[in-house]
């Protein structure tokens, strides 16, 4: 079985201009970019380096995107892994992966470590009572605890790794082990909220830049009329609209292509060959 490796990218190429609808979060995260660009300055000025930042919010609203943008803006390597990649039944594998991840990030500092779905590895510790009222742990639970402890050790020893930012993301804050939320581990928790109408408009404009869109398409009205749509869904909408346009032989995306794409994403593609009524 091959060992999962943190995906590294010299620079992610993602910029804050690729992120829309979460301006407050972006404002707060600018400081991390300033730090990564010049960790020595923070040191010289006696400013405590930022430790970890927890990004919390529903899926598809830009947690991964904004994490990549921090690395991209600072032009530093980005080490990404998912919490589930640390969950192994084999004893010691998860904690070895944590050690390896932090080691590699420190060697290449300044850098960013990003663990998505951090709840998978940092679930609130639970025990099962045995007859003797001692906790009985399954092997898997024990292994996960070892992995979580290793993460806590790495976070506590972060001062030695100056120039490394640790970002975690979750949409299940309630599941996280309180030990991870203690001060000094995650300095900051930043909520990444689903976009409102203006946010949806801004997100559509960002993604419209990446496709060939007719200027006549009224993105503002779509933003108003698609409540609850996340950034991921809006990005998918314009990709789908581009596919529809190609299928219909249009040389740019027209309003009716976007309408068709909204229908497809809302109710699925029209069934061919089934006549109703
Ligand atoms: P998950 O919890 O499922 O990992 P996430 O919050 O990390 O979700 P992303 O993976 O960042 O979501 O979003 C997926 C894609 O959706 C992005 O790569 C981007 O194309 C688009 N997207 C999501 N949010 C935004 C946003 N705020 N601005 C622009 N694009 C966005």
Whole-model pTM: value is 0.88
Residue whose Cα lies nearest atom 12 of ligand 1: it is: 60
CA 255 to ligand 1 centroid distance, Å: 24
pLDDT at 133: 46
Q: How far is CA 111 from CA 59, 100, 141, in A?
A: 25, 14, 31
Q: Is the CB of 72 under 6 A from ligand 1?
A: no
CA 221 to ligand 1 centroid distance, Å: 22
Query: Closest ligand 1 atom, CA of 116?
Result: 4
Q: Identify the weakest region by mean pLDDT among 17-31, 32-46, 227-241.
A: 32-46
Rg (alpha carbons) of the chain, rounded to whole number? 22
- Rounded distance between C-alpha atoms, residue 153 and residue 203, angstroms: 38
Region 3-21: mean pLDDT is 78
CA 229 to ligand 1 centroid distance, Å: 12
Region 178-199: mean pLDDT is 89
Q: Is the CB of 231 under 6 A from ligand 1?
A: yes
Q: Identify the weakest region by mean pLDDT among 24-33, 84-93, 103-112, 114-123.
A: 84-93
pLDDT at 11: 73
- Rounded distance between C-alpha atoms, residue 60 and residue 108, angstroms: 29
Q: Identify the weakest region by mean pLDDT among 26-30, 164-168, 185-189.
A: 185-189
Region 91-107: mean pLDDT is 89
CA 132 to ligand 1 centroid distance, Å: 48
Residue whose Cα lies nearest atom 18 of ligand 1: it is: 65
Q: Is the CB of 196 under 6 A from ligand 1?
A: no
Query: What does the mean pLDDT of the chain come to?
Result: 86
Q: Is the CB of 22 under 6 A from ligand 1?
A: yes
Percentage with pLDDT > 90 across the chain: 60
- Rounded distance between C-alpha atoms, residue 196 and residue 192, angstroms: 12
Q: Choose among 217, 154, 171, 202: nearest CA to 54.
A: 171
CA 250 to ligand 1 centroid distance, Å: 28
CA 10 to ligand 1 centroid distance, Å: 21
Residue whose Cα lies nearest atom 19 of ligand 1: it is: 232
- Rounded distance between C-alpha atoms, residue 89 and residue 233, angstroms: 35
CA 5 to ligand 1 centroid distance, Å: 22
Residue whose Cα lies nearest atom 16 of ligand 1: it is: 232
Q: Is the ipTM of this complex over 0.90?
A: yes
For 80, list phi and psi in degrees, rounded to 5: -115, 130
Region 102-130: mean pLDDT is 82
Q: Choose among 181, 175, 183: nearest CA to 124.
A: 175
Checking if the pLDDT of 169 tops 90, the result is yes
């Amino acid at each position: 079985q091959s060992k999962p490796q943190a995906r590294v990218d010299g620079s992610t190429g993602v910029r804050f201009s690729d992120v829309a609808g979460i301006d407050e979060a972006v404002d707060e995260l600018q400081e991390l970019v300033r730090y990564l660009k010049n960790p020595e300055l923070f040191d010289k000025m006696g400013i405590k380096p930022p430790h970890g930042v927890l990004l919390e919010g529903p899926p598809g609203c830009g947690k991964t995107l904004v994490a990549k943008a921090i690395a991209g803006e600072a032009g530093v390597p980005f080490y990404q892994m998912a919490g589930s990649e640390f969950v192994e039944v084999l004893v010691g594998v998860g904690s070895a992966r944590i050690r390896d991840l932090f080691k590699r990030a420190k060697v290449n500092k300044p850098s960013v470590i990003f663990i998505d779905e951090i709840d998978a590895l940092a679930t609130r510790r639970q025990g099962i009572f045995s007859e003797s009222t001692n906790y009985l742990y399954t092997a898997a639970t024990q292994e996960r605890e070892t992995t979580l402890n290793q993460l806590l050790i790495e976070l506590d020893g972060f001062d030695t790794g100056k120039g490394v930012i640790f970002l975690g993301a979750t949409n299940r804050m309630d599941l996280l082990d309180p030990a991870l939320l203690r001060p000094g581990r995650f300095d900051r928790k930043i909520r990444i909220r689903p976009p409102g109408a203006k946010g949806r408009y801004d997100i559509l404009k960002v993604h419209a830049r990446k496709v060939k869109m007719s200027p006549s398409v009224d993105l503002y009205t779509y933003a108003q009329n698609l409540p609850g749509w996340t950034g991921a869904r809006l990005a998918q909408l314009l990709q789908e609209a581009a596919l529809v346009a190609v299928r219909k032989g249009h040389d740019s995306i027209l309003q009716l292509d976007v309408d068709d794409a909204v229908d497809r994403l809302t109710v699925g593609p029209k069934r061919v060959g089934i006549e109703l009524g």
